[in-house]
């Protein structure tokens, strides 16, 4: 290959890389604008729990988000459970066991940090130390794009963790991948997003039924980890 041809090939590659970077930046702006412009959100979700690449458990239900700082996950299958953040406490309620575990929000595990932007008006740059396009992970749909988010330090030892999130061409959140220690991976897939739905205040308030035992203690990192 002549020197001129080599330079031409290099320039084409550089231009292609630049175009991809610009497109990724624009998609992130659309994504942030879509979710930061609303006060409430609702979506169906499918949560998968992998251990060393093997699917161990899958759960599905409805998720609700309310600014500032509230969210509710109603697990509907294979069993009913509720994970609720009311702004003061984090609750995990198991109707089958007649138990509700709670702990102060500030003491809870930060595994849902990648979803923090859904309950606040912060930009991704406040959550992620760095956001970059991930061309190695296969998206759910060819047109979607996956990004890597290196989380900022939130408590001792949390800095540097990398999560991945998938965005559709229209800027909708499709999927989040949250790695855990010991070869564990949590995957959340979303669909049917509703923007600014009217959500009653009671949805983010937990009143234990009369036969429920309330326990103050550690919560599971995810209801999906509960066996």
Q: Are strands 99-104 and 89-94 parallel, antiparallel or unpaired?
A: antiparallel
- With a cut of 60, say whether residue 6 has pLDDT above it: no
Given the structure tokens 């066996």, which residue do they identify?
227
Which is more confidently placed, 17 or 79?
Answer: 79
Per-residue model confidence as pLDDT tens digits over 166-179 = 999 999 999 999 88
85 vs 91: CA distance, rounded Å: 6
Average pLDDT of span 172-198: 93
- Going from the C-alpha of 68 to that of each of 85, 101, 162, 220, the distances in angstroms are 11, 22, 25, 23
Long-range interactions of 56-64: CB distance < 8 A, separation 24+: 57/224, 59/223, 59/224, 63/190, 64/40, 64/199, 64/203, 64/204
- Please name which of 186, 190, 163 lies closest in space to residue 57, comparing C-alpha atoms: 186
Residues with Cβ < 8 Å from 4, sequence gap 6 or more?
none
Which is more confidently placed, 217 or 28?
Answer: 28
**CATH hierarchy code of domain 3-74+110-196:** 2.50.20.10
What pLDDT score was predicted for residue 165? 94
Compute, in degrees rounded to 10, the torsion defined by CA atoms 212, 215, 219, 222.
-10
What pLDDT score was predicted for residue 189? 97
What pLDDT score was predicted for residue 73? 95
With cut-offs at 50, 70 and 90, classify the pLDDT of residue 49. Answer: very high
Range with lowest mean pLDDT among 62-76, 114-128, 160-174, 211-225: 211-225
Per-residue model confidence as pLDDT tens digits over 100-134 = 998 888 766 555 566 777 888 778 888 888 899 99
- With a cut of 70, say whether residue 158 has pLDDT above it: no
What pLDDT score was predicted for residue 161? 83
Give me the phi and psi of 198, to 5 degrees please: -80, 110
Taking a C-beta distance cutoff of 8 angstroms, is the pair 36, 30 a contact? no
Each domain of the chain, given as residue ranges in start order, spans: 3-74+110-196
Taking a C-beta distance cutoff of 8 angstroms, is the pair 102, 127 a contact? no
| Most confident segment among 14-28, 108-122, 206-220 | 206-220
Please state, rounded to an integer, the average pLDDT across all residues of the chain. Answer: 82
* Percentage of the residues of the chain whose pLDDT score is greater than 90: 53
Could you tell me where the DSSP H helices lie in the chain?
3-36, 124-127
What pLDDT score was predicted for residue 11? 35
125 vs 218: CA distance, rounded Å: 29
What pLDDT score was predicted for residue 126? 83
- With a cut of 50, say whether residue 20 has pLDDT above it: no
């Amino acid at each position: 290959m002549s020197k001129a041809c080599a330079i031409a090939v290099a320039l084409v590659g550089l231009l292609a890389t630049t175009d991809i970077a610009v497109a990724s930046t624009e998609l992130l702006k659309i994504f942030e604008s879509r979710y930061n412009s609303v006060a409430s959100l609702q979506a169906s979700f499918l949560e998968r729990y992998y251990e060393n690449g093997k699917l161990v458990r899958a759960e599905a239900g409805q998720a609700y988000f309310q600014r500032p700082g509230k969210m509710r996950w109603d697990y509907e299958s294979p069993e009913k459970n509720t994970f609720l953040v009311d702004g003061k406490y984090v609750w995990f309620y198991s109707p089958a066991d007649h138990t509700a575990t709670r702990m102060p929000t500030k003491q809870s595990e930060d595994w849902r940090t990648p979803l923090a932007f859904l309950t606040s008006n912060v930009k991704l740059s406040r959550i992620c130390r760095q956001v970059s396009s991930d061309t190695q992970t296969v998206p759910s749909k060819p047109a979607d794009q996956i990004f890597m988010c290196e989380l900022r330090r939130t408590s001792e030892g949390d800095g540097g963790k990398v999560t991945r999130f998938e965005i559709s061409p229209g800027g909708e959140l499709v999927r989040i991948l949250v790695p855990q220690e010991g070869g564990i991976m949590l995957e959340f897939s979303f669909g049917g997003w509703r923007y600014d739905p009217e959500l009653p205040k009671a949805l983010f308030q937990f009143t234990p039924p009369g036969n429920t035992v309330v326990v103050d203690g550690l919560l599971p990192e995810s209801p999906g980890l509960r066996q």
